[in-house]
Structure 1
Amino acid sequence: MSLEIVDLLVNLLFILLFVSVYQMYIIKKRDEYKINFPLITILSSISIILCMTFPIRLSSEFIFDLRYVPLVVSIFYGNTFVGLILGTVIIIYRYFLGGVGFYITLMLVPIIVTLTLVIKTYYKKFDLKLQSYWVLGFISILYSIIVIYLSEVFGQTDILTLTMSIKYIVINFLSVLLISYLIEMLRKFVLLGAKLRAAELAQMEKMNLVSALAASISHEVRNPLTVTRGFLQLLQSPDLHKDQRIEYYELAISELDRAQDVITDYLTFAKSDSTEFTVLDVKSELEKVVSIIEPLANMSSIKIEQTLQDECFTIGSKQIFRQALINICKNSIEAMPDGGNLSIQLAVIHERVSLTISDNGQGMSQDQLIQIGKPYFSTKEKGTGLGIMVVKNVVKEMNGEILVNSELRKGTTFTLLFPPVK
């Protein structure tokens, strides 16, 4: 193996070492591919100094190195600051090495830094359908030609023959192509790994949610069924008084209704995305919901106050939308066991359909507010947390937004925002 090939491989080894260490850092982070500019600057500076310390000898007179390979690669994947630092490192170290080559370097570094930044900006701005390693290869050809031109200007034409010039261009081109191609492959590998981990975490989160819901549903349905079974057993007694028999019947039916409510909430939450969406008249839907909950409100001495604006339309499913509104209103009513006011306001505000449902009931603390809508969590003694999960799911399907404000002993306000339809 000739000496020039050994020198070339040593220079490439220095650059590959920088790439490998950086990629090991990225893989260890196990996160999306985020550029660490300080680390790139440090590793590139080390590889540049090593390349300049152990140059390549194409002949006894023509000596060069691959210092500009990590420079253009780092600028392309880094930023302007990285380029300025690395350019300064090259100029300072070349000054200590001495010789006429320092003046060529002094003129060449600003040109290469500017050239790379301009091409990088053009490449990203116009979203060219071209792999980045070909762009970097093109940059290497340009700066190689500039080096050859400056060598002629400084009177080194006799040293840099045509054969040497071609070798110099080809070596720089292949070196930049190899390094940038390797970086792109490693970058895709890291991004693919991050996507796979994200998908795995998402799947685990779904399984945890299903497990939590299954356990919650099982617990909440089993309780009323057990109670109902006990009352039915008591009804078998022939000596049971008529009033007691009626009371047991009513209690059994109420427990079955509670089990049905839990199952209804679960089915609404788990409903597939195939629900047919149409244009909803939000005011009309609200009026129907109010007529449903009004008897419950009257039983609890709760006054319903409505301020409903006409011409409020959005896209959604009537069935799940009504279910979501009923869930919120029921929560508000149950939060006011001693009576109170339930306020419902509807208007178009800032080009969004705004629906606000407020109560002056028990309210929630900030810690409770953070947990609202999660399975198992409920401020009610017999709650499952599914009701608000249904609401959140419905609002998300309708491309809306839900805001919840609450304060202990002062009440809770739900604000639902939806895109309007004119």
Structure 2
Amino acid sequence: MDLTEHFFFNLSLLIVLMFFCVLWAERSNNLKFIQNVAILYFVVSFFLCIVFSYPIHDGFLFDLKNIPIMISGLYMGLGPFLGVLTICIKAFYGINSSFWVTFTLYGVISITLWRLYPLFIKLSPNQRILFSMGLTFLFSLIQTVLEFIHLPYPKYDLYFAVLFIQPLGVGMIAYFIEEITKSILLRKHLLNTKRLEAVEQMGASISHEIRNPLTAATGFVQLLQSENISMESRSQYLSIIKKELKSAERVIQDYLTFSKTEDFLTETIYVHDEIKQAIQSLQLTAKKKSIEIITHFSNDLAIIGDKQKFHQCLINIIKNGMEAMPKGGTLTIETETTSSMVSILIKDTGIGMTPEQLNRLGEPYYSTKGKKGTGLGLMVVYSIIRSMNGTVHVDSELNSGTTFKFTFPSIPDHLEQIEILENENKYVLS
């Protein structure tokens, strides 16, 4: 059993070598690089088998080079190259009858593998494994008849090594190749799916954010078509339309919602002014839905951030609150301040949310509106708030309404100059 043990050791080396080649190839997603690693593996395996050849009788050497020849020939079309290399190595030992047997045998193997390669690739993975093992067994049987049958060596050990270990080695390596190929294809498919999902998510998110200012602009355009509108109102509506269209244009040109904090603008935002502008943009929607908007402003507050994106955030939350009150209701907007923090509370008297819905707020593509929502509006809001070093806290009860509380760091210098404007200020839109 010396030959069998020697070949099992040689086969284990081929498998270990494949393991390290797979680790090396996995560092790159470049298909050409992976192919080059595979070629290198088969060439090194071929010479490794030559080095670990086993002397059977009177200088006659036997090895497992058929394994890399068969696998590389069927999977990569390298059969003719390694077959010619085998013939050249045999020629170094002299041109004799044994050489001509090797020349004939490996010449036939090379031509056969060259012709079978295009057909072999079209087979299914399981068929390729079985076919490669069967073809290896066939050539091993022919090799036994031509070269080994007359050698004075223990037949059981010789036949077991030739007719079992070689097909077994080919089957094992073929199985590993199929699994590695499947893994590479799955990873590539996953990467493509993630890229496509990112593009779809960005497209849907941009569409969602553009829809808000365009909806407001469309409403005021409809008002401008009225014949009884005053010049003062016309000028006011045109100013609002211009601002909303600029907001939509900026979303298209500079969509940085998911960028890092340092990529956002840092400008002074006067909170009450932005809230009033957001209410003014949505006053037509509130009127149509019979929603009363009430504000409770504490002080003249200021924070640091991106004014356009903060406006975008307010529009999203106020609009969501309105949509949660299909039969009308009250939307209350309050502001609170401490020595270091500014808080904005937006409360509605709508349908509310269950604890499960509340826990999933901000997840991509999750919406409490069913098919009418994209699930991206709140994700955008959460991203904007985080970019401004703020926090979001949501309280909600089913059929009792929802409260969004946004907290931001205040501007210390501004707090020293603030004046109390009014304790309560109401905007009633009917």
TM-score w.r.t. the length of structure 1 is: 0.47
TM-score w.r.t. the length of structure 2 is: 0.47
Whose RCO is larger (CA < 8 A, sep 6+)?
Answer: 2
| Structure with max Cα Rg | 2
